[in-house]
Structure 1
Amino acid sequence: MDTMRDRLAPVVSRLLDEDPRVAVVLAEIGKDAFTEAYRRHPDRVVNVGIREQLLVGAAAGMALTGLRPVVHTFASFLVERPFEQVKLDLGHQDVGAVLVSAAASFDWPAGGYTHMAPGDVALLDTLDGWTVHVPGHPDEAETLLRHAVAAGDDKVYVRLSVQANREALAVDGAHFRTVREGRRGVVVAVGPMLDAVLTAVAGLDVTVLYATTVRPFDAAGLRRATAAAGTDVVLVEPYLAGTSTGAAGDALTDLPHRVLGLGVGRRELRRYGRVEEHVAAHGLDAGSLRERIDGFVGGGVVAGRA
């Protein structure tokens, strides 16, 4: 199976052909995939070199002229390094862009901590007006990329990852999707966490919601699920643990509830290792998730199932 990032250049290159507003801004990373697009649209495919602050600043300038810039590099270089430009050049000037990241929390362990960004969504959450998509499959990434570019002049972040679920689901760029129903709690699986969550909750009497758009947070969808399953909520996110616990709490503010946030821990793992080893170290493998989810919702095994 190809990766989410493999879909980026083909999808955006087609959008460049279809829509004269679309532009692409790069900082060396990923430039080879856009060679043909640059040949066809040299005025709308720009590589600023290894200058991530300029990457965002140039995109904001393009947006001020009426273009719809798609901006791409690794998450740590797209959100963390140029955060002042994201805050001011886009946010303060009230212009939009589509930020598309790669490498996610720890997709390239050999790159070291400079290439890891488990705090990217939490950081963007300090700003107003951002839509955040976290696809869990390359097909979903393609759908959400198109949603993002078509979203007027909004500020949109699309978080791509090499981690992916085995199968794609239909996503609409807004709502959580109910994957299974239960009566003893709700587990929200974000993006590529779905397969591990479904394995972890096998036999448990819980509802599973699938989230590929986490901002705005689908408060109404969570409330509908808790009406039948109760207000014990577990969030399983592929980035910093607890990023969405506040949003879930706000959704249930008038109801007694408990929320458990599972995700990437704050402790830096200083051995490169493999992606799978980082997943296990942060307790995001199916076995660890089973223990933590079961312990929180208090069991509730479905009759006839282990």
Structure 2
Amino acid sequence: MDTMRERFASVTSRLLDEDPRLAVVLAEIGTDGFAEAARRHPDRVINVGIREQLLVGVGGGLALAGMRPVLHTFASFLVERPFEQVKLDLGHQDAGAVLVSAYGSYDWPAGGYTHMAPGDIALLDTLDGWTVHVPGHPDEAATLLRHAVAAGDDKVYVRLSQQANAAGRPVDGAGFLTVREGRAGVVVAVGPLLDDVLAATEGLDVTVLYATTVRPFDAAALRAAVGPGPADVVLVEPYLAGTSTAYANDALADVPHRVLGLGTARGELRRYGTVPEHLRAHGLDPASLRERIAAFTGPRDGARAAA
């Protein structure tokens, strides 16, 4: 199976052939995947070199000129380093672009903390009007990329991962999917963490929702899964823990509920190790998830006593 980044390069190269309005802007990273597309469309595949602020600035200029720019590099260099340009050159000017990142929270541990951005979506949440896709499989990445490019002049962030689920799901670029139904709680699994969540909740009486489009947050799907309450909701996200808890609380404002946000911890891991080691350290491996989810959604002490 190809990776999400490989699928991004092949799908976007085809879209360059189909849509004369499309342009790809790179900052050295990812150029190999677009080598052939650059030969076919030298005026619409632009490499600005290792200048991430310029990457976003050029994207904003292309958008203002009527183009649909797709900007790509690692998440830490696409959202964090040029955040002022994302805020001003895109947001303030109301200029649309598609930002496609790779190596988000822990995908390349050997790269060190400079190549990790667990807070990227929390940072984008400080800005208005962003759609955020977090695919969990290369097939979903292809679908969501096409949605993003076709989204008029909207601002869209597509967060690609090295980790992937075994199979793709029929995502639509909008709502959550119900993967499993239960009565003791609702677990929202985001993108590449679905398989781990399904393994962790095997045999537990919980509903599992699958989220690949996290902004806008699908409040209606969460409310439907929760019902009249009271309800326990667990959010399992491959980025900073708690990133979406406010959205879940707002969705359930008139329903008795509790929310637990699981994701990467704020504490920095200085022994970089491997991706599985990072998952265990953050409590996102199946065994850790099962323990944390079962403890949160299981019977309270009072309920056990009454039983």
TM-score norm. by structure 2 comes to 0.96
Q: In 2, are the aligned partners of 1:163 and 1:192 still within 8 Å (CA)?
A: yes
- In 1, the alpha carbon distance for the partners of 2:191 and 2:99 equals 17
Residue identity opposite 2:19 in structure 1: D
Task: After superposition, give the CA deviation of every residue in 1:195-244 in whole Å (9 maximum; x if it has no partner).
Answer: 11011111111000000000000000100000177521000000000000
Q: 1:41 offset after TM fit, Å?
A: 0.8
One-letter amino acid of the counterpart of residue 146, structure 2: R
* Corresponding residue for residue 277 of structure 2: 277
Counterpart for residue 127 of structure 2: 127
**1:184·1:229 contact (CA, 8 Å) conserved in 2?**
no
Residue 34 (str. 1) matches residue 34 (str. 2): yes
Matches within 5 A, 1:38-187: 38-187=38-187
Q: Which residue does the alignment assign to 2:211?
A: 211
Aligned to 2:231: 231
Contact 2:229 2:257 (C-alpha < 8 Å) held by counterparts: no
- Gaps of at least 5 residues in structure 1 are 301-306
**Is the 2:140–2:170 contact (alpha carbons within 8 Å) kept by the matching residues of 1?**
yes
Contact kept? 1:206, 1:229, Cα under 8 Å: no
Q: 1:164 to 1:299 in 2, by over 3 A?
A: farther
Aligned to 1:256: 256
- 1:104 deviation in Å? 1.4
Which contiguous aligned blocks of 4+ residues in structure 1 show a shift greater than 6 angstroms?
none
Counterpart of 2:227 in 1: which secondary structure?
helix
* 1:109 CA displacement: 0.4
Pair 229,286 (structure 1): closer, same or farther in 2 beyond 3 Å: farther
Distance 2:107 2:54 in 1: 25
Residues in 2 aligned to 1:241 and 1:123: alpha-carbon distance in whole angstroms? 13
TM-score of the aligned structures, taking structure 1 as reference length: 0.97
What count of residue pairs does the alignment treat as equivalent?
300
Q: Distance in 1 between matches of 2:229 and 2:277?
A: 33
Deviation at residue 65 of structure 1 after TM alignment: 0.4
**CA RMSD across the alignment:** 1.1
Identity of matched residues, %? 79
Q: Give the secondary-structure state (helix, strand or coil) at the position aligned to 2:169.
A: coil
Q: Deviation per CA, 1:154-196, whole angstroms, max 9, x where unpaired?
A: 0000000010101111000000000010011100000011011
